[in-house]
Amino acid sequence: MVQSMLLEINSTTFEDDIEYKISQCVRTNNNISIIIDIVYTLEYEVIQSWEITCIEVEEHEIKLSNNQRMFFTEDHVLLWEYQHQNFDLYLTSKAINTNEILGHLYKRHEELTESWVPFGSYFNKHNQNILDIGQGLLATGPSPIILAYENILNCNSIKTSKIPCNNMKQWNDGKFEILDNIKALIFDESYLIAKNFIAKKLK
């Protein structure tokens, strides 16, 4: 398991800072295997090498590059669309100061997502003036995001309502369901979201 790999890496005494180099990526059906080389910063010699097989990959963004960090998690903003109920958030009244409201929404969005999800990703692309109009669908997204948006709007005297909705990322074997067995392996800018991760030491 990846947890065992990380425990071994963290328990190893290295002379200096290390980086995690994604040196290879191979896809086979719905699985992806990557090779992680551990190298000293600014050097090329490989200290350790691991093969990680990602089982039933749902989503990925992989750059063959060196990374300052690598961590494994079952609780991350990239997993929210799989793990949480999605909602449509509607406005039923206008914003008095649209720019100020957008500023509050942006700040809270960045706090929650740590820039992994660009601001505006969940907004209704077909009506960008919805705050001025005050009537219609503002955003669709996982509950932690929608509840945060709703709280900001309500605190600024904007009335809202939200309705549960389905998300294609939760479509599984012919039905919609919350995926509680989903995990993520995350680097600086790369990530893989999958059902399972198996690590094997090569060097």
Say yes or no: 90 and 164 in one domain.
Answer: yes
Segment (H or E) for 187: none
Return all residues near 83 (Cβ < 8 A) that are at least 6 apart.
142, 178, 179, 180, 182
How do beta strands 175-176 and 171-172 pair? antiparallel
Q: Please give the pLDDT value at position 169.
A: 81
- Does 95 reside within a domain? yes
Residue 15 CB partners (closer than 8 Å, separation 6+):
40
108 and 127 co-located in one domain? yes
Range of the domain at 55: 2-74+182-201
- Cα–Cα dist 37/102, whole Å: 42
Same domain membership, residue 67 and residue 48: yes
Whether residue 99 sits in one domain with residue 50: no
CATH number of the domain within which 104 lies:
3.30.70
pLDDT of residue 15: 66
Give the model's pLDDT for residue 175. Answer: 80
| Same domain membership, residue 98 and residue 63 | no
Position 16 in a domain: yes
Residues 108, 140: one domain? yes
- pLDDT at residue 1 in the model: 73
Q: Same domain for 115 and 164? A: yes
Query: 64 with 104, same domain?
Result: no
Q: Which amino acid is at 147?
A: L
Are 62 and 23 a contacting pair, CB within 8 Å?
no
**pLDDT given at position 173:** 74
| Structural domain contains residue 153 | yes
DSSP calls for 54-94 = EEEEEEEE---SEES--EEESS-GGGHHHHS-EEEEEE-S-
Domain membership of residue 12 (yes or no) is: yes
Residues 144 and 192 in one domain: no
Q: What is the pLDDT of residue 150?
A: 97
Does 16 lie in the same domain as 39? yes
Give a yes or no: residue 177 inside a domain.
no
Q: Give the pLDDT of the chain (203 residues) as one tens digit per residue.
A: 777 777 777 777 776 788 999 999 999 999 999 999 999 887 778 888 999 999 999 999 999 999 999 999 999 999 999 999 999 999 988 888 889 999 999 999 999 999 899 999 999 988 778 888 888 999 999 999 999 999 999 999 999 999 999 888 887 777 888 888 899 999 998 999 999 999 999 87
pLDDT of residue 191: 96
Residue 49 in domain: yes
Report the domain count for the chain: 2
124 and 192 co-located in one domain:
no
In this prediction, residue 172 carries a pLDDT of 75
Residue 79 lies in a domain: no
What pLDDT, on a 0 to 100 scale, did the predictor assign at position 46? 87
Examine residue 80 and state whether it is found in any structural domain, yes or no. Answer: no
Considering only CA atoms, give the Rg of the chain: 21
Q: Both 90 and 163 in a single domain?
A: yes
Q: CB of 138 within 8 A of CB of 154?
A: no
